Each structure stands twice: as C-alpha cells, then as structure tokens.
A and B are shown apart, each in its own frame.
Chain A
Amino acid sequence: METEVLIIGGGATGLGLAWDLALRGIDTILIEQGDFGHGTSSRFHGLLHSGGRYAVKDPVSAEECIRENVILKRVAAPCIEDTGGWFVHLTADDPDYPGRWLTACRRTGIPVQERPVHELLALVPALTPKVDQAFHVPDAAIDGFRLLRALAYSARQRGVRLMTYTRAVSLMQKEGRVEGAVTEDQRTGQRREIRASLIVNASGPWAAEVAAMAGIRIDMRLDKGSLLIFNHRLSGQVINRLRSPGDADIVVPADTVSILGTTSVPVASPNNPLPSATELLHMLALGEELFPSLHEYRVIRAFAGVRPLYDADESGGSAGREVSRTFSLLDHAVRDGLEGLVSVVGGKLTTFRLMAEKTGDLVAQKLGVTVASKTAVTPLSLPEPRSVSVFMPDKGTEDAQHMQSEVRNDREGRKTKQPTGTVICDCEAVTLGDLHAALAEVPDGDLNDLRRRTRLGMGTCQGSFCSFRSAAALYQGNEFPVQRANVMLQELVQERWKGVRLVLWGEQLREAEFMQAIYKRLLNLARLDANGKRI
C-alpha cells in the first residue's frame, strides 16, 4: 500500500490528525493496534476542561484548554454535554488558593463566575455542606468513544483509510529516511508494507516504542490515573475541588453514570493498566470529602488509563502532576537527523484538536501543501442511527413497526422481520438498529468493538442482560457461525467483569452474584461451545 501520510495511533490525536489532513486533501492511512481509543482516549474521566485545573501551575496548558473548550463545543457538539462545571472550595482547604486561582484564571482568559454557595448546593444536593466558595466555569462532559467514532466516520467520509487491529512491527528506512512501515493484522497475523512520504507517530503512551523502531529515543513519563464509575449522576455538572490538583478531586457526569478521578502513579508499561485496591480505597476516602454519602452509592466498575506525559526539557527531573499537560511536536529530521518521521507527544484529550492542527501544519509544510487547517470551523458528523426507537403517532402501529424492521432471511431461507427498535441494552437504551449501524462501520467487529461505538453494556448492569441479547440477536440476523457468536459473548462478559471485579463490595457485590447466576446457572456459559470442542 502507498500513501502520503501514515499515522500510527488511533486515539483522539491520531484520528484528529486524520480528520485534519483529510480536510486539507492529503492522502492518509491510519493504523491502530487495537480498536480506536483502546488506549488513553477512552480511559479518562470524560472531562472537557475549562482550563481551570491548570490555571495556577500550568498556564500554557490552561490557555490551550479554554480555547479548545470553546472550539470543540461548536465542532464536536454531538459528543459533548455542555453541563458547565464548578470549582468548590472546602472550609478545610488552603484559604489562599482561591485568590491565586482567580488571578491565574483571569490571566489565562478562563471565564469564572463566583456564585452563592446555596445556589450550588441546590443544584447538587449530594455535595458536602462544607463548601464555602463556589465558582462556575465552562467545564463540560465529553464522550471519548463518541468523539472517536465521529472523527473516524468524518475522516472516512473524506477518503482516509483507517485500519484497526493493525500494529506497526517495524519502520522501513533507507539513507537516513523513513519510507514506510511493516504492519501486522492483530487478528490474522498477516503482514504488509505501507509506503509513505511521512509517518506520524501519534501513539500516545506507546510513542517511545514506535520511535525506538527508528532507533530514536523519546523519554516519556508514563503516569497511571485510576477512576471509579458510579451507577448514576452524583451531580449534573462537573465538580472540581478548588485546591492544588490532587487525587480524586474531579467528578464528571457521563450519560447515565458519574466518574470520579483520578490518581497519579508512575508506570513502566503502557499496556493493560489496572487500578490497585489501595488506589480505589484512597479515592473513595477523598471522594467522601466532596460527597459525604459516597460510600452508599453503587460503584459499577473501576478502570485506569496511562497519561502519555512528556517533559519537553527532557532533564528527567519531574514526574506525574509536575509535568506540563501541554504537548510537543518532535520533528525527527531536526531533532535526530532522520527524515520522514514526526512524533506528537504529551497533551490531553481536551487539546487533541490543537495537537492535530499543529501537527497538520508541519505535515503540510513538509509536503508542500498550502491549505490551512479547517478543523476549528468544520463540524464533525456521526452516522445516522438505523432505527427510530420512538413511536410515530402519525404513522399507525403497523407502519411504524414496518419502518423499524429489517427484513432478513432466516436460516431456512424464509423472510422474517427483525425489529430494529428492540432495546438490547436497557441501561444505555441501545437498540438492535444501533448495533447494526455500528457493525456496518466495523464489519469484522466483535461485541467489544460495538460496545465502544454504542455504549452497549456500559450502564449499571455491566452486560448481565445485553451480552447474551446482543450475541444472540446478531447471530440471528447475520451470516456467521454460531461459534463466533459464542466467542464474542464470552469475550464481552469477561471484558465487563475486568472492571467489576475490582469493585466487589456493596451493591456491586450483589450484582456480581446475580451475574454468576445468569452466566452459570441460567446460560451455562462455561460450557458454551466457543472453541468447537467444549459443551
């Protein structure tokens, strides 16, 4: 295969760049080792920062955040719930901090409004009464999965070739120039060469590994952040604790749930980050300072992400929350004398578009393209849903039913209707039509790929019902062997368990016993014929 630009990494930065280059008319291929966002872009608390968190310590990052906050609310509106947010000061916290913070916000252009505490407590009754100052900021909730889906869909509409489950195994070099990459399909093992005029390493926490394939060293500061998901919205708006940034001081509402985060723990590897029990208990204790009845709420799962931090001065002195959240663009021709390779490192989800724009500028300049970035003014689009799950009163029931059904052939060749409005995932209101639409985007996709595109299984029951329903309904409507449906079913219940298993206490321990009854007593999944032998 050949292309002008090969992007390695399908997180927000890589897909954002793909979208940026597509709008400039530059031929692009993107490869991602897992599914889109299987790394950091889906493992954060879903906060679209106002910049307030960084105003005091990291003003460059704060300025980037507030600019991008305004732009993304315009161009990525379907992925954002513009909840607004608050910085709350507790009586016991540093009394001098709010003053310094306000000055810093003013300097960085973050619009802050001090409001009466009782107004906030009326909006968020679960919050501690120990709040003595409350400031409203333009924080918002952003759905990472939906954002990636919109970026991928928009980029693909403009001709970008996107390849998931495709990993770069080596970079091809000739005479001081990177000429392409050898890739491997993670499912079939098939290898192929992709030749490119320019390769962009946008692999987030894997950036050092990719650069190492070209013999280049990048010093990343990998930093794990753990998060807890609660079964409903503790607050309809983002709550930040107004003090020097620390652990468990942000709560973000995300669709039907809330996310409490984070921690900051240096890690050696970007692969499979998991929260530790100590971290989770520590977060619960701190979270209770903000929400005193937190222990009574049900925690539905825990997860962790790896921040791909990069210290621009590379002196090696700082770590974790000390490292700036701004990003760096490394032109390896200038930095290391190697043509054809650029790395974009650091940054955060809120600033992904800016990272993509700046990287796009460098790419365009190298390729002699003069078209400027258009991502700040071009709205992203999402695929149209294939089912209408509301009853249409002017249509009459039979008509509405017909409009919401797909006619298919059953396995005996008879025409059968499959109602696409059937709700497969009750917690997140995902219909069969939604799953079909997502499957059209990833024809080889499994249920976890569909989950990331539809929120299937992400709600309170964590797959207890919808794992079986989705596997069985998709088998019934599609031509694939039953063993494939069985493998997908077992993989989804296992993937959901991974996060539930970390929070086996309270009401979630109760749900866990329910899962055992459903998966074993009722469905007997351990004896499901997933590999052609067992039953």
Chain B
Amino acid sequence: MANEFDVIVIGAGFAGLAAATAAANGGRVLLLAEGLGFIADLPSTIELYGYLPPRPGHVVRPWDELAGLMQYRDHPYAKIPARVLEQSLNMFVEAASTMGLAYEGDQDQNTLLAGPAGVPRPAYLAPYTMAPGRVDDRSPALVVGFDVHKDFYPEYLVANLNRFRQISGLGEEWRAAVIHVPGQQARGLNSQELATMMQSPAFRRHVIAEIRERLHTETRVGFPAIFGLDAQGTRQVYQELTVGLDRQVFEIPTLPPSPPGIRLAGEWLRYLQSKGVKVSLGFRVMGVTAENGRVTGVLVNTPARASTYRCRSLVLATGGFWGHGLSGLATGEVKESILGLPVRPVMPPEAWGEDRVLAPQPFVRFGVATNAYLQPADEHGNTLYENVFVAGRLLGGYDPYEEGCGEGVSLASGYYAGSLALSAGAVGD
C-alpha cells in the first residue's frame, strides 16, 4: 500500500534525519516535517560534548567525559549505549561523505573553531569547508567579509579572536579585510543571498582579485559561510578560491540563515530519497491514530484533504520549543505537541527562566520522559506507547546550548530511535 510504512519519522533536524537514515536500512520509511528547524539556522558542525558547566574551559577529549556522563540517568547520553553513539557518528560521517560533504575531526579530540563574534567553540566534527579554520594553532589567517553583508563582521571577529590567541600564547595575529561589493542595493544582504552571489563566476573573480591585494603572508583565508547552498556549488567555490588565492580557504559561521545548514539538510534529504525514503516537507501533523498502546497512523494536514499514513512504529524528533515539539501555556502547562505526552520536569512557570539571559535556563531542559529504550513513559516508568521512540531535543534532560552537545545527542538518539523503531516494527509482524 502506498500509504503504509514500517517507520514514520516526524522531524527533519539532525535527530529526524539520523533516525530516517538508520531506519532506511531495510524498512519502508516516511519522513514528515513541517520545516527544517535549527539545522538551517546553525553552523552544521557536530558538537559532541563541548563544556561541562560550571567547569571553566572546554572539553578536549569528549569520550573521556562521556563515560562519566552515562551515570546521570536523565541525560540522553546515559540512555544510549556507547557503541550506538559511535555507530551513529560513523553513519553520519559515511553518509555525509556520500553526499559530497566530507566531515573531518582531530582524531577523538575537540577542535576549536571561531564563531561569528570571534569566540572559539569546541566542535567534534566539522565539514571540510570549516575544519581548516581551527583557531588553536599557530598559523595566522586573513578573515574576509563583505561590506553589504549584515550578518558577518570580520574586524569585530578578529579583534575578539586575537584576544583569545594572545591569552593562549598563540603567536601571530589574524587580520581582517572588508571587500567592497559593487552594484548592490545598500539595504544589506544575508548569508543565503551572498551564497547565491558566490555561484556567479564573475563575482568570484572580483572577490579573488580584491583579496589578493589584501593578503600578506597568511597561509589561510577565512570567509563567512557562504560557499554554496548545495554540495556541488560549494565544492566549486571552495576549489576555485583555493586555486585563485593559492591558500587554504575555510568558512566561518554567520547569523542565520546558515548556508552550511541549508546545504547539509538539502543533501541529506536527497540522500534519504536515493535510499528509498519518502520525504514530505511543509505539512503539519494533526494527530495520530492509536490502538492498544500502539500508534497505528499519522494524520497530516495536506492540501485539499488530510492524509493518513499508516505505520508500524513512529519516531518523534520534533524538537523542543523552537521546533514546536513542545509548547508551554501561560497557565503553566507544558505539552508535547503531537501525542500530548507528559513533559518533565514540572515546575511553576515563574521558574522556567532565569533572570540572567546567559545563565542556564531551566526551560531548555524540558522534555518527554522515556525509558531506557527511548519510549515515552509515565512518572512510574510505565511505557505509554510501545512503538513510539523519542529522539533529539524533545528528550530533554540536558542543555544542548550550555553543554555543547546538541548535534551529538540528536545524531545518537535519532540513530538509536530509528534502529529501535525498525526492529519494533519487525517484531510486530
């Protein structure tokens, strides 16, 4: 039947995409999502474990810390066997490489990469366009920006980065150069618009000529992350800049929209389709049908009439508040959006936030409680739906932004949930 699937995955962020990838290994899979969520907004680097607040400084060897983390029952990593975590990363690296977006790491260590404000941030894996931009080695770089680009400011970035390099005793300073973009309306452009401009050979020639004039002895040139919106276009720009400047070039993240994120999401969806996954984006899930503690189908608000897709098992990877996986009411009630699953912890609404915006915020830890197999569970630990598996930010119990582990948790829990969903469907036969 056209509308019957072994596994339906709801959500197309890192968790949903990883779940669909895992389940596609032998199952008929449908990926449903209303939008792309954070993946199109954020840098697309993989953070596995970056910080252990309140400990100052960043985590250098995340695997050493993960062993300790497994003892915290509420943290999603505690529910995922170490071997599954490793498999999920291998799956991602292999899939990304097939998509033409090779990811690189420094063996098992975190690498420090610059963010848009020039503050370094530890990444475990980075796309080949970003990995050469590590800030914790001695080789200096020229960071280039564009005068009409409202989401990237190289002088500010370099000023902050050089203070870090100075404090860390890392030799030569980085430099900044702002390139004039002729013929542009001066309302300011975002990164997606510049990524589109970079696809023009004439514009690239202009950029290369301007930069050659500004280069000193730097061996590397950093750009805002605007090389392209797909793998092929990005490869072309990357190679042409490398040859034209005779330097190692690299991308640095910008404010959203994020071309590297858009690139990864787009290629990953195409990859899934090539594996036989049916992808349906842009429609809101209205609800599910369920019998005897099992979800049997998903109701989607498609044009003209609602469609029902039947499934053997379901992966919920709908995200946190930003992804619309969770919603909170003024009255203090927090709900999971599709099944109405209970959300933990329960606390009065005044306690959801902290007064300092940069302090850890309780609401980012809210999520659906699950048992050890990522199945939603009630407060006594009873499984609520035996063929539903929860992945990614919706799990709660951790702070992806403070701990620097958002993509790691999403990949691992998504991969795990996808695999479990596939075997749960098989058991149901």
Contacts and interface: CB of A to CB of B under 8 A. Distances in A.
Interface in B388-405: 400-402, 404
Contacts of B350: 277
Given A412-B175, A469-B255, A513 B320 contact: yes
B255 A509 contact: no
B183 A504 contact: no
Interface stretch (A13-21, A74-82, A418-426): A418-426
Given A468-B117, A494-B356, A513-B320, A506 B150 contact: no
Interface residues on B, range: 35 or more
B180 interface: yes
Interface string A463-483: 001001101110110000010
B180 A523 contact: no
A469 B180 contact: no
A486 B255 CA distance: 17
B42 A517 contact: yes
B358 A517 contact: no
Contacts of A494: 356-358
A529 B163 CA distance: 8
Interface stretch (A113-121, A137-145, A396-404, A443-451): A396-404
Nearest to A529: B163
B287 to A, nearest CB: 19
B117 A476 contact: no
B182 A281 contact: no
B367 to A, nearest CB: 12
A165 interface: no
Interface in B145-164: 147-148, 150-151, 153, 155-157, 159-160, 163-164
B322 A517 contact: yes
B186 A421 contact: yes
Contacts of B47: 521
A417 B42 CA distance: 29
A493 B187 CA distance: 24
A533 B151 CA distance: 26
Contact of A513 (B121, B148, B322, B404): B322
A489 B157 CA distance: 13
Contact of A397 (B183, B352, B353): B183
Contacts of A482: 156, 159-160, 163
B364 A513 contact: yes
Interface stretch (B18-26, B268-276, B326-334): B326-334
A489 B153 CA distance: 14
A506 B180 CA distance: 42
Contact of B187 (A423, A503, A510, A527): A423
B188 A505 contact: no
Contact of B349 (A505, A513, A526): A505
B38 A411 contact: no
Contacts of A405: 147, 186
Given A514-B322, A529-B164, A524 B117 contact: yes
Given A412-B175, A482-B160, A524-B117, A401 B329 contact: no
B178 A416 contact: yes
A386 interface: no
B117 A472 contact: yes
B137 to A, nearest CB: 17
Q: Is the interface of B mostly helix, strand, loop or mixed?
A: loop
Contacts of A400: 185-186
A524 B159 contact: no
A410 interface: yes
B330 A295 contact: yes
Interface string B351-386: 011111110010110000000000000000000000
Contacts of B147: 405, 416-419
A301 B358 CA distance: 18
Given A513-B363, A517-B322, A527 B119 contact: yes
Given A506-B328, A525-B358, A517 B41 contact: yes
Interface string A262-281: 00000000000000010011
A332 interface: no
B422 to A, nearest CB: 30
A284 interface: yes
B324 to A, nearest CB: 7
Interface string B340-355: 0000000001101111
A192 B171 CA distance: 47
Given A472-B156, A528-B117, A512 B353 contact: yes
Contact of B116 (A401, A513, A522): A522
Contacts of A469: 150-151, 153, 255
Contacts of A506: 327-330
Nearest to A424: B150
A494 B147 CA distance: 28
B76 interface: no
B329 A505 contact: yes
A250 B160 CA distance: 47
A516 B329 contact: no
Contact of B180 (A277, A391, A417, A420): A417
Contacts of B1: none
Contacts of B352: 504, 509
B188 to A, nearest CB: 4
A451 to B, nearest CB: 15
Output the residue of A411, A416, A516, A528 with the most chain B CB within 10 A.
A516
B321 interface: yes
A468 B255 contact: yes
B115 interface: yes
B155 A523 contact: no
B297 interface: no
A401 B327 CA distance: 45
Contact of A504 (B184, B353, B356): B353
B148 A522 contact: no
Given A284-B330, A505-B349, A521 B153 contact: no
B329 A422 contact: no
B126 interface: no
Contacts of B184: 397, 401
B16 interface: no
Contacts of A473: 150, 153
A352 B188 CA distance: 39
B43 interface: yes
Contact of B155 (A280, A475, A525): A475
A526 B358 contact: yes
B253 interface: yes
Output the residue of A389, A515, A529 with the most chain B CB within 10 A.
A529
Contacts of B255: 465, 468-469, 518, 522
A485 interface: yes
Output the residue of B156, B180, B364 with the most chain A CB within 10 A.
B156
Given A476-B156, A523-B116, A525-B358, A535 B167 contact: yes
Contact of B148 (A422, A472, A486): A422
A136 interface: no
Interface string A498-511: 10010111100110
Interface in A19-43: none
Nearest to A510: B321
Contact of A524 (B115, B186, B330, B355): B115
B406 interface: yes
Output the residue of A281, A514, A522, A529 with the most chain B CB within 10 A.
A522
Interface in A37-86: none
B119 A504 contact: no
B24 to A, nearest CB: 28
Interface string B117-131: 101110000000000
B402 A520 contact: yes
Output the residue of A400, A421, A475, A510 with the most chain B CB within 10 A.
A510
9 contacts: A424-B188, A473-B150, A482-B156, A485-B156, A504-B352, A505-B329, A506-B329, A510-B322, A535-B120
Given A471-B156, A504-B328, A523-B116, 5 more contacts: A284-B330, A475-B155, A523-B119, A524-B120, A524-B121
What 7 pairs between A and B have smallest CB-CB spacing? Answer: A472-B153, A497-B357, A422-B188, A421-B186, A419-B186, A520-B401, A482-B159
